[in-house]
Structure 1
């Protein structure tokens, strides 16, 4: 049997930085101009490279689109991301991908969507949120529960506020914003754990699909709350953050037992990984 070599798996396309916007003390928003459309699904990621420095997996934070724009949020957390934070509009980066499974919109369409995110989890989840908003008539409702440690760490604040106002007018969208603590900063949302509002959200177990993305401890308690509301494992999707290295299932760096997160994830239906204890660590 012969296999066809796909150079897009290994050779990056060049992308020009169009815009960089500081979001918090540690995160910056990047808008890139690609050479060709990415044709990605919500939840997929790319391998982003800076010549002479290295390459790292970065979540895609924009919904599917036909143009050549790519949006990402990058946290300054290592040598490569620190170098990326020092780049300027007009500079060139390398982009491989998209990689991973992502969310299947055909499977979600017609269902009430609940997105529960913690901290940086809003970055990949924004891609799903934008995809649902683009086809809002095909979904009964969209609920977003977004939590972070303090107001200084909240991402996409203006967008979340705009969705709150939109929900007030159309009744299909509900946004609940929380922080663990205010740190004496101005705050117009709630204070508490991101799992707390699950008890008050209307949930029809048969016709609701829940997407989770955040720190591992959030998954454990969010899933406990969802199961107490009757949501089956097959209706829960988890977006797992793993340190991908190659993106093509060769290095084994993101392997969870027999599962390769870079190819079969990072989005998993929970019933698929419920018996893999390492998955949510």
Structure 2
């Protein structure tokens, strides 16, 4: 489950720390994304984990997923990060690791995960991220207690309320890529049912809010969110009724499959259901781009007519 990392871990990722070279690389490389996992971090490339760094008693263990290699040999063994210079070996290896992942994804595409990372980048770190109203704090967020996985979590901070950091709402985002992803065991209706159960629990909601707060705070400290806060900004506070957003990428407007599925959906009791309707093209997310259930049904009916 995604969560904030320890104070020592964050210090080692900041200037002068054992892992600071990796942070600088992520800051300057828009194809990489950092995800916080409590006692470890994932570095994502094209939606796949290119590097896992875990906290140890005497430093950090580093690992590349051998499943991305043609020959499952265990991946490069560049050692732990325990002294200045150890991190440099892994940073230097990143281009070769990217090539291995490019070859893997050419044969086994993971378009949904790749576009997840793109959406997170556009709202957190692109040239328009300071203008958006949604910030992504994690992708592939797993709740082991509930057996649930969320594509993205983050917060919504309306532009009209930017001088008040207590006006942030929790946001859970599900991405569906293409019409084949709309139904089945991981379809839209199933996600809504699962989230109704999870978000009915106030303790679970409070825990999720705290996680999002902590993640956003640490990403800000690592300069991995391109956002200009007001002069007296202290720390974002996440609270209120959750918003669940479905981000449907590359929908086929000639298909009526989505309309048939959405027509069977009822308004949820424990969260605000929204469907992202892009502002022209792109994944920059604004409140004005979010359609409620009735508005989305109306849009789909127009497309079908």
**TM-score scaled to structure 2, two decimals?**
0.28
Larger Rg: 2
Higher percent of residues as helix: 2
